[in-house]
Chains A and B, each alone.
Chain A
Amino acid sequence: MPVAENIGAATLDGLAYVGGLAKLGASAARAVVLDVFERRRLAYGRAIHQAMAVGIGSLPILSLITFFIGTILALQSAYELRKFGALQFVADAVAISVSRELGPLITAILVIGRSGSSFAAELGTMKVNEEIDALETMALDPVRFLVAPKLLSMLLMMPCLTVWADFMGVIGGAIFGMAAAGFTFKTYIIATLDALVLRDIVTGLIKSLMFGVVITTVGCQEGLRTGLGAEEVGRSTTSAVVKSIFLVIMVDLVFTTMFYLGIG
């Protein structure tokens, strides 16, 4: 039964990989907590540096993409809504889909491309240059020193970026609303605020935190597992991006199902 054997082996590999991610995430989270309590000098500086790279660096491109996504969503929903003469609900459709789904997801995919890949490349290059070995021989834990600041910065920046993405998506929708659905900017924003409940924003933010954990752990795990040679760094980076996107979608599915079953 080679097919069943292959499926079994692949499943076990997959579970072992996710187990590795959980272990890395737990060690990094423990290091973040310990660093906060012990007031280590280095961790804050490195986390701020990372947060700038993850967050501020992605703002221009994130704004542009989510703005256009908002407009596209408005166009797509208007296509159906106008058949029922319900074009005024375009604001509701955009607000809910952006805040619950597309804001966090587009942010995550953009951050994977910018930061997840760079985490894997940075750690992979350090591995190839024996810098990870050097850290270990200096009695410095690579997880605390390298992964923890990245996790902390990601946990801080992902929700902020997601809120910004939500906002830009709504603005993108408003452009269509003003141009084709008879809204003024003010009435579009009021319609959006009426459509949204706090739960929509919170579910998006919870997802964004989970995405941040996935992106950091996959990027760092791929980097730390880099083999010897420069081409291995390229392989780790590609692998980090592909696996992160897959796992982010999986986590999205699990959490969306949980929100649907639990709190609607």
Chain B
Amino acid sequence: MDELNATDTLGSAQAPVLSIRNLHVAYGEREILHGISFDVLAGETLVILGGSGSGKSTLLRTLVGLERPSSGDVILRGKNLCAMSEEEWRELRQHIGISFQSGALFGSMTVGENVALPLLEHTQLDPATIEIMVRLKLNEVGLNGYEDYMPAQLSGGMKKRAAVARAMAMDPEILFFDEPSAGLDPIIAAGIDQLLIKLKEAFGITIIVVTHELASAFLIADRMVLLDKGHIVAIGTTAELQGSTHPRVRQFLDRVAEPEISREIDYLQMLTGEVPRPRQ
């Protein structure tokens, strides 16, 4: 595998907050991630780029514990997530926040109740303090005064912001974002990008974003990982990726379409990456 590993942090002096080593993830017989390794440094924004079917969403789901890897290690806060008990997971999850692609706000609760939920469940704070914290969190994402709205009454961008407020409720060390600007118009999407930058600068949170939106990725990222068919093709700063001559990196960044497939044999080759033997 010819990876662009020039700036991988494996030998870096700064301690990584999250280390992924030789991660394999499979759905049944089908392997999605084939031995992924990279580090995430404290306080950086790392963007995981990749096309549809590249395995980027599976990687995110594995990092937050929604999928179990078939082998490999994910080290977070000094603990290997792959060898954790349910109890340890429950403890760890209070230190990470996730904003899902659809927002995943609970439709039967108001925005305020959504943000208050982790605080009610995991802390001993009294209701008045929780109410103040909910207002603060909503203020941070620009949703002042929306506590009593139901999620269905919010626009797409506001739902995303509310989801960020909920992910921030427990003051996490790492925030994960799944396609933060998917389905939003360019102006609202730019607003979400600005919010991510603001959160990083104001709170020094480590942010991991999974996206395929190039403009947004280059704006918010400190470093980027480009995934293709379950392999890391490139990892580096935004400038390093832009300067890369790797054909897959260039194809992705220059938005070049895959060549048209007309023959069955070519399609099989594209799917499997192998040249099938002709039938006798």
Contacts and interface: CB of A to CB of B under 8 A. Distances in A.
Interface of A: 41-42, 125-126, 129-131, 133-134, 136-140
B106 interface: yes
26 contacts: A42-B121, A125-B107, A130-B100, A130-B101, A130-B104, A131-B104, A131-B105, A133-B66, A134-B100, A134-B104, A134-B106, A137-B64, A137-B66, A137-B93, A138-B93, A138-B117, A138-B118, A138-B121, A139-B89, A139-B90, A139-B93, A139-B118, A139-B121, A139-B122, A140-B117, A140-B118
The 10 A-B residue pairs whose C-beta atoms are closest, nearest first, are A139-B93, A134-B104, A130-B104, A130-B100, A139-B90, A137-B98, A131-B104, A138-B118, A137-B64, A130-B102
B94 interface: yes
Given A139-B93, A139-B94, A133 B121 contact: no
Interface in B75-130: 89-91, 93-94, 96, 98, 100-102, 104-107, 117-118, 120-122
Contact of A137 (B65, B91, B117, B122): B65
A136 B101 CA distance: 16
B64 A42 contact: no
B169 to A, nearest CB: 9
A45 B236 CA distance: 50
Contacts of A129: 102, 104, 107
Nearest to B93: A139
B238 to A, nearest CB: 28
Given A137-B64, A137-B65, A137-B66, A131 B93 contact: no
Interface of B: 61, 64-66, 89-91, 93-94, 96, 98, 100-102, 104-107, 117-118, 120-122
A133 B62 CA distance: 12
A215 to B, nearest CB: 20
B106 to A, nearest CB: 6
Per DSSP, are chain A's interface residues mostly helix, strand or loop, or mixed? Answer: helix
A136 B64 CA distance: 9
Contact of A131 (B66, B96, B106, B120): B106
B10 to A, nearest CB: 28
B36 to A, nearest CB: 20
A134 B107 contact: no
A130 B90 CA distance: 18
Contacts of B61: 133
A118 to B, nearest CB: 12
A133 B178 CA distance: 12
Contacts of A41: 120
Contacts of B101: 130
A41 B117 CA distance: 11
A42 B118 CA distance: 12
A129 B159 CA distance: 13
A140 B91 CA distance: 11
Contact of A140 (B66, B105, B107, B121): B121
Given A139-B122, A140-B121, A133 B93 contact: no
A136 B118 CA distance: 11
B104 A133 contact: yes
A34 to B, nearest CB: 13
A137 B97 CA distance: 8
Contacts of B121: 42, 138-140
A134 B114 CA distance: 11
A125 B66 CA distance: 18
Contacts of A131: 104-107
A97 B217 CA distance: 69
A258 B90 CA distance: 43
B18 to A, nearest CB: 15
Nearest to B98: A137
A180 to B, nearest CB: 50
A203 B66 CA distance: 44
Contacts of A140: 117-118, 121
A147 to B, nearest CB: 15
A41 B122 CA distance: 12
Nearest to A134: B104
Given A125-B107, A138-B121, 13 more contacts: A42-B121, A131-B105, A131-B106, A131-B107, A133-B100, A134-B104, A137-B64, A137-B93, A137-B96, A139-B89, A139-B91, A139-B93, A140-B117
